[in-house]
Amino acid sequence: MAIVSVPVEKSYRLLNIGATTLVSAKAEGIENVMAVAWSCALDYGALSKVTTVLDKQAFTRGLVEKSGLFAIQIPVANQAELVLKLGTTSRHTDPHKLDGVEIFYQDGFDIPLVKGCAGWILCELIPSEDNQQNHDLFIGKVIAAYADDRVFKDNHWIFDQAPNELRTLHYVAGGQFYLIGEGVEAE
C-alpha cells in the first residue's frame, strides 16, 4: 500500500460516503484524537471546506481552538475498537488515551495523523464564534488530503477491489457500526 496525495479540489469525495471519522489536533506539543460521527463536506474545488462537530467537553476541541489546525481522517473496519475507544475516553481524565495509537506526520504539516486510516483531510480552522459557541460547529478549509491507494484511487473509492477490513465504518450507537457495502451504478 501507499499513502497518495488527493487533490484538495476532490477531497470532498473522501467524506461523501458519510463514514464515521477521527478528528485529530495538536497544540503546545500535546496531541489528541477523538471519534466524530458528524463530519461532512461543505464545499469542493479550490475552496474545499468541511464541517465537524466538537463538543465543549472534548479535549481535542481546545487543541483545535489553540492551533487553528485539525485533521479529519476516515478509519476502517479493523480499527472499530480503536474508534469506539477514542470516542468514549477523554484525555481530560485519561492522559494515556493515545497509548497504542500510532501517529504520523506528513511533510510540511504539524497535524497528527492516525496510521491505518483510509483517508486524511488536513484543515485550517475558519473561525466562527457563533457556530463554535452556539452549535459546537467547526468549519475547516482543506489544505491537503491523502488516501490509502488500496481503497481510494483516481479520486474514487474502490471498495469492491479491496479487502473487507479496509471498508469504512458508519456508526449507529452503542458500539454498533455498519461497514460500507456493495457498489451500485445509477443512470
**Binding positions for a copy of itself, rule: CB under 8 A:** 12-13, 16-20, 37-43, 49, 51, 53, 77, 80-81, 83-84, 128, 130-131, 135-137, 139, 155-157, 159, 167, 169-173, 175-187
In the complex with a copy of itself, the residue whose CB is nearer, 110 or 133, is 133
Degrees, nearest 5: CA angle 77-83-89: 160
Q: Residue 129 carries which DSSP code?
A: H
At its nearest, how many Å lie between a copy of itself and the CB of residue 28? 29
Question: Are 163 and 151 in contact, with CB atoms under 8 Å apart?
Answer: no
CA distances to 16, 17, 47, 68 from 183, rounded to whole Å, are 14, 11, 29, 37
At its nearest, how many Å lie between a copy of itself and the CB of residue 125? 14
In the complex with a copy of itself, the residue whose CB is nearer, 95 or 175, is 175
In the complex with a copy of itself, the residue whose CB is nearer, 28 or 99, is 99
- CA terminus-to-terminus distance, the chain: 32
Structure-block grid coordinates of residue 28: 503546545
In the complex with a copy of itself, the residue whose CB is nearer, 58 or 139, is 139
Task: Give the closest residue to 3 by CA, choosing from 82, 115, 80, 109.
Answer: 115
In the complex with a copy of itself, the residue whose CB is nearer, 78 or 106, is 78
At its nearest, how many Å lie between a copy of itself and the CB of residue 124? 15
Residues in the chain: 187
At its nearest, how many Å lie between a copy of itself and the CB of residue 101? 15
At its nearest, how many Å lie between a copy of itself and the CB of residue 71? 18
Task: Give the closest residue to 119 by CA, choosing from 163, 143, 149.
Answer: 149
Structural element, H or E, at residue 29: none
